[in-house]
Amino acid sequence: MLSQNDTNTLRCERVDPPSGEEEAHAVEDFAYHRPVLQREVLELLQPKPGSLIVDGTCGGGGHTEALLESGADVLGLDQDPDAVQHVSERLAHFGRRLIVRQGNFRHAASVLDELGIRRIGGALLDLGVSSRQLEKAERGFSFVRNGPLDMRMDPRTTLTAAKIVNEYDEEELTRLFRELGEEPAARRIASLIVKMRKTAPIRETLPLARAIEKLVGRHGRQHPATQVFQALRMEVNDELGALEEGLRVLTARLAPGGRIAVITFHSLEDRIVKNFFRDHSREWLDKPEWPAPQRNPDYDLTLVTPKPAEPSEEEQRANPRSRSAKLRVAEKI
């Protein structure tokens, strides 16, 4: 049984960052009560009564609540202090079975050490930005509501989107937009930003979004600034680095038979999870120059989902923002 600790969230489910009209609708009517792939998470994660599950992105507490109702205890982590406060208050009736702490899941090991917990029965990561973060203009995630170019999920960190936009050189911005945003017009947008900031620092979201829209034009429903804002957010929060480190940390803490489940919303995240699970589920490695296959030192998982689980048509109709979600699960051997 877990002990109650001081903690801090506003109710928000992890979602794929919406675009254009989709974002405008999302921030007006965000469905806090709709955790993505909840049925599939419970079926594939297989939480057991009394076991401890680490929900590394507890957000609004939707998945956390479902895990608690299944009988498992939960350590909920979130780097957003609003999320920590909300989950602590909303799910307080579960008492000592729930601990909520502010922190990135990449630091789960230090939290577990502090609590004296060596092994966990499972882990869940539900990646992406939250509806609540999009809705609050002052957080700087939205390109349809004006606010400061911030985008920090953890306000204790120092890197902001404004710092990136105003201080990265043109080559760095081009690389960022191309690699993390997969933006075809990366160089043109980077050049535009460098020209804009010569006149005055770029401090707010809407002037940047509108300048990008004017430069590249609008085609279809997706706002032209979508991929640039995604790249900035991912850089500010080191999202891919955190995912790589978090996968290693949480997998190392799993008890035999424990499972790790990850919900991703775009190809960069999914590729990291897919490759990590693949590399840790190969018992033997072989190369043409080797005289014989060698045992894989990282072999500690077996794949539960050779192909990712995806939302049903029914869920996509009920919650369009779930459409790009992919769930991958692996089990500790």
pLDDT profile of the chain (333 residues), mean per 10:
36 37 38 77 97 96 96 97 95 98 98 98 92 81 92 96 98 98 97 98 97 93 93 97 98 98 96 98 94 96 98 92 94 98
Amino acid code (one letter) for 310: E
Identify the pLDDT of residue 321: 79
Please report, for the chain, the start and end positions of each structural domain, with discontinuous segments joined by +. 14-132+239-332, 158-236
Identify the pLDDT of residue 133: 79
CA 35-234-267 angle, 5° bins: 65
Identify the pLDDT of residue 131: 74
Using CA atoms, how far apart are residues 323 and 325, in angstroms rounded to an integer? 6
Identify the pLDDT of residue 319: 86
Identify the pLDDT of residue 168: 98
Phi, psi of 144 (to 5 degrees): -115, -5
Identify the pLDDT of residue 25: 37
CATH superfamily to which 158-236 belongs: Putative methyltransferase TM0872, insert domain (1.10.150.170)
Q: What is the pTM of this model?
A: 0.87
- CATH of region 14-132+239-332: 3.40.50.150
